[in-house]
């Protein structure tokens, strides 16, 4: 299995590129003073509010709040994860991406060869559709399905001629090439007679692309009466059916900011919907919807709408999709289900009633995940009987159990409570697991960031924040809630900003304890940041932000990086800030303890407090006052 990308390589990569060049190759930038500007690629606007700062190698949108460095931009614009963005950026510079211990040196060349072969095969099939003397039937079929030549080019649709060796003869006859063609699933070797032949014959070819647009597999629709009607590539080193979705790359390319994705069952459904202007549809590849599918979809947009046939097979497919969706239903995400009339599919339906009516159907007839869940569970139950209600609670429990902890899970429990008459507290107690906290897939030294940063804590004395960018609205991405930079930042936020300016400040911090403060996310982030900087010397701030780009911690780090506070990297000033944080933490801790004791005393009569308890209380307060004075004296001496 491939290891992590070495830190020194990422740092070197970021120093070699200019964010202006990378963004300008995708969005036309215009010089405006010291910065560059353009209309934001992440939301619709007429007046440019997207600004790129060449000195800080940072971009920011005043309209939607999108921000980050060059890797962050590539991740958002090209819809890539962090590792793929590094690979893409390195490829633009002609660099190979090294891996740390555990990396198989032969893996990358083999994969490169497979990608190249799949690209050549896609070109071959497209050429056959245009020029083969027997492609007339394929062209007629596509015309009957109302596919235009432009749409066929957009989806790179092709034709595999009849015959056993057309594709095989297109490539050279080297043993190495033949090996890769078999490995890619394009050729088949007969186990009995060892004969090698083309897998796809006399079929319309639908290429399947990964998130980077690389061809990784094919689906073929037969033109004659042969079986199966649809034939897909087998699983290969670069293709896993349970993780890929047909049309996802094209949907991302057609829509810079996807709000909703429609999941259908067939290639032609995707193509037909796109033909009618619904460019946000995808299809599974001959498999049921998986958890991996849902993770990819929700990473792309906040709402997924399943559109299935109304027959029994369609409802079974929808139920499997629901089961795969439950564990991904974090707050802010939505899943809905639409069942078409009997005998209809998305292709036939959109052609019959038109795109506007079909869009209206999507909005008006689709039901929510919880509505579909309970509708199916109660279908054979009598809720007027107590045993029916008990049965419903037992049936619903494993489904609710896998929901992530949050408001949606609580609301589903409340709905179950209203249907059964059982108290929410009782239902909650019956769950085997209350719901695991979200675990973000990120590098091993990841930062876990609480939902909001503390905005009410006063900053260090004498510090006024002067944001490099003015306040912005919500982030363009729904998966990371945007937090507006406030006019002031708290002490911990100021310390984090100092660390981002000079990471070496962490070297001489021997005592991290005392900085952690309950109910203060910035304090928690500061402690985590110090731990990472001390355990990973030399890691650059830009790399930290890039690696945490898709997390709440990364969002907060990006926000703090936009503040221009006249940083000098002065070590004494940094340690004074930490001392100030410790004092505030001690004061808050003392205040909380006092409030706790007051509550305990308020429920206890004075006569019940014996002399020993009074002495313990007095000792506690004296100890806290002495600790506070000691810390204050240390600060004064500095």
Same domain flag for 604 and 512: yes
Pick from 92, 121, 149: which residue ends a domain? 92
Q: What angle, rounded to 10 degrees, do the helices at 312-325 and 291-300 form?
A: 70
The CA-CA-CA angle for residues 32, 38, 44, to 5°, reads 150
DSSP codes of every residue in 5-47: PPHHHHHHHHHH--HHHHHHTTS--EEETTEEEE--TTS--SS
For residue 51, give the 3-state DSSP assignment: strand
Q: What CA–CA distance (Å, rounded) separates 349 from 356?
A: 12
Cβ neighbours of residue 626 closer than 8 Å, sequence gap 6 or more:
none
Q: Is 553 within a domain?
A: yes
Q: What CATH number is attached to the domain comprising 133?
A: 3.90.980.10
Q: Where are the alpha helices (DSSP H) in 54-170?
A: 70-77, 82-92, 107-131, 136-144, 149-154, 166-170
Pick from 373, 407, 440: which residue ends a domain? 373
Q: Is 59 within a domain?
A: yes
Q: Is 544 within a domain?
A: yes
Q: What CA–CA distance (Å, rounded) separates 534 from 506?
A: 6
Same domain flag for 254 and 301: yes
The CA-CA-CA angle for residues 583, 585, 591, to 5°, reads 105
Same domain flag for 481 and 604: yes
Same domain flag for 343 and 382: no
Q: Is 435 within a domain?
A: no
For 5-22, write each residue's pLDDT tens digit: 787 788 788 888 899 999
Q: Is 98 within a domain?
A: no
Same domain flag for 331 and 388: no
Same domain flag for 163 and 200: yes
Q: What CATH number is attached to the domain comprising 19?
A: 3.90.580.10
Provide the residue range defining the domain that includes 319: 248-373
Residues 234, 212: contact at Cβ < 8 Å? no
What pLDDT does residue 172 have?
Answer: 77
Residue 531 is encoded by which pair of tokens? 């731990």
Residue 12: HSE in the Cβ half-sphere, 13 Å Cα cutoff: 11
Same domain flag for 489 and 620: yes
Same domain flag for 388 and 494: no
Same domain flag for 513 and 535: yes
Q: Is 446 within a domain?
A: no
Go through the chain and tell me how many residues it has: 638
Q: Is 489 within a domain?
A: yes
Blockwise average pLDDT, block size 10, the chain, 638 residues? 70 86 90 90 87 87 85 84 84 78 46 91 96 92 92 96 93 83 94 90 95 93 87 94 94 86 95 95 93 92 94 92 96 96 93 95 96 96 94 94 94 96 89 44 40 38 34 35 49 81 80 69 83 77 66 74 57 80 76 68 56 64 66 58
Pick from 232, 266, 293: which residue ends a domain? 232
> CA 516: distance to chain centroid?
29
What pLDDT does residue 557 have?
Answer: 78
Same domain flag for 514 and 629: yes
Dihedral of CA atoms 339, 343, 346, 352 in degrees, nearest 10, equals -120
What pLDDT does residue 506 have?
Answer: 82
Q: Where are the alpha helices (DSSP H) in 220-336?
A: 248-254, 267-275, 291-300, 312-325
Q: What CATH number is attached to the domain comprising 586?
A: 1.10.860.10
Same domain flag for 541 and 619: yes
Same domain flag for 622 and 477: yes
Q: Is 241 within a domain?
A: no
Residue 160 is encoded by which pair of tokens? 């595999």
Residue 211 is encoded by which pair of tokens? 């998130």
Q: What CA–CA distance (Å, rounded) separates 409 from 400?
A: 7
Residue 219 is encoded by which pair of tokens? 């689906």
Q: What CA–CA distance (Å, rounded) separates 625 from 181?
A: 76
**What strands, in cross-sheet order, belong to the sheet with 203-209?**
158-160, 203-209, 215-222, 230-232
How many domains does the chain divide into? 5
């Amino acid at each position: 299995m491939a290891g992590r990308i070495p830190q020194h390589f990422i740092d070197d990569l970021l120093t070699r590129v200019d964010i202006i060049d990378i963004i300008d190759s995708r969005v036309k930038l215009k010089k405006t003073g010291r910065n560059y500007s353009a209309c934001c690629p992440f939301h619709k606007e007429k007046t440019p509010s997207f600004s790129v700062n060449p000195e800080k190698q940072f971009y920011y949108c005043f309209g939607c709040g999108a921000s980050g460095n060059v890797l962050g931009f590539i991740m958002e614009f090209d819809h890539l994860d962090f590792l793929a963005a590094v690979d893409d950026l390195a490829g633009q510079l002609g660099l190979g991406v090294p891996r740390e211990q555990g990396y198989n040196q032969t893996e990358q060349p083999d994969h490169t060869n497979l990608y190249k072969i799949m690209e050549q095969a896609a070109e071959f099939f497209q050429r056959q559709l245009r020029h083969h003397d027997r492609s007339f039937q394929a062209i007629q079929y596509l015309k009957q399905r109302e596919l235009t030549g432009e749409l066929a080019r957009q989806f790179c649709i092709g034709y595999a001629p009849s015959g056993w060796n057309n594709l095989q003869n297109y490539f050279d006859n080297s043993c190495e090439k033949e090996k890769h063609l078999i490995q890619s699933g394009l050729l088949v070797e007969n186990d009995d007679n060892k004969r090698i032949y083309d897998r796809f014959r006399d079929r319309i070819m639908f290429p399947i692309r990964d998130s980077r647009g690389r061809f990784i597999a094919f689906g073929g629709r037969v033109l004659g009466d042969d079986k199966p009607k649809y034939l897909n590539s087998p699983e290969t080193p670069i293709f896993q059916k349970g993780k890929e979705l047909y049309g996802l790359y094209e949907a991302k390319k057609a829509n810079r900011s996807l709000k909703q994705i429609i999941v259908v069952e067939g290639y032609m459904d995707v193509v037909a919907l796109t033909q009618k202007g619904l460019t946000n549809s995808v299809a599974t590849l001959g498999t049921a919807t998986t958890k991996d599918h849902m993770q990819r979809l929700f990473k792309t947009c906040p709402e997924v709408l399943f559109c299935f046939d109304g027959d029994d097979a369609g409802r079974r497919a929808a139920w499997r999709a629901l089961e795969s969706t439950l564990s991904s239903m974090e707050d802010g995400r939505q899943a809905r289900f639409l069942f078409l009339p009997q005998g209809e599919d998305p292709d036939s339906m959109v052609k019959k009633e038109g795109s506007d009516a079909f869009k209206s159907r999507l909005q008006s007839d689709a039901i929510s995940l919880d509505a579909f869940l309970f509708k199916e569970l109660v279908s054979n139950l009598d809720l007027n009987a107590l045993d029916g209600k008990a049965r419903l609670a037992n049936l619903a429990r494993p489904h609710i159990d896998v929901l992530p902890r949050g408001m949606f899970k609580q609301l589903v429990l409340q709905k179950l409570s209203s249907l059964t008459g059982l108290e929410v507290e009782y239902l909650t107690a019956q769950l085997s697991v209350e719901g695991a906290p979200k675990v973000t897939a990120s590098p091993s030294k990841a930062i876990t960031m609480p939902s909001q940063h503390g905005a009410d804590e006063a900053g260090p004395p004498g510090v006024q924040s002067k944001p490099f960018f003015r306040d912005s609205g919500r982030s363009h991405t729904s998966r990371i809630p945007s937090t507006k930079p406030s006019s002031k930042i708290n002490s911990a936020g100021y310390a984090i900003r100092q660390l981002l300016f000079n990471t070496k400040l962490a070297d001489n911090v021997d005592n991290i304890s005392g900085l952690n403060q309950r109910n203060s996310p910035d304090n928690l982030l500061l402690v985590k940041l110090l731990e990472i900087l001390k355990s990973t010397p030399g890691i650059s701030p830009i790399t930290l932000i890039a690696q945490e780009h898709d997390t709440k911690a990364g969002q907060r780090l990006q926000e703090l990086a936009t503040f221009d506070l006249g940083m000098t990297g002065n070590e004494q000033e940094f340690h004074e800030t930490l001392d100030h944080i410790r004092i505030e933490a001690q004061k808050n801790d003392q205040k909380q303890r006092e409030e706790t004791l007051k509550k305990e005393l308020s429920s206890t009569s004075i006569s019940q407090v014996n002399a020993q308890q009074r002495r313990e209380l007095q000792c506690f307060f004296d100890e806290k006052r002495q600790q506070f004075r000691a810390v204050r004296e240390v600060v004064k001496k500095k």
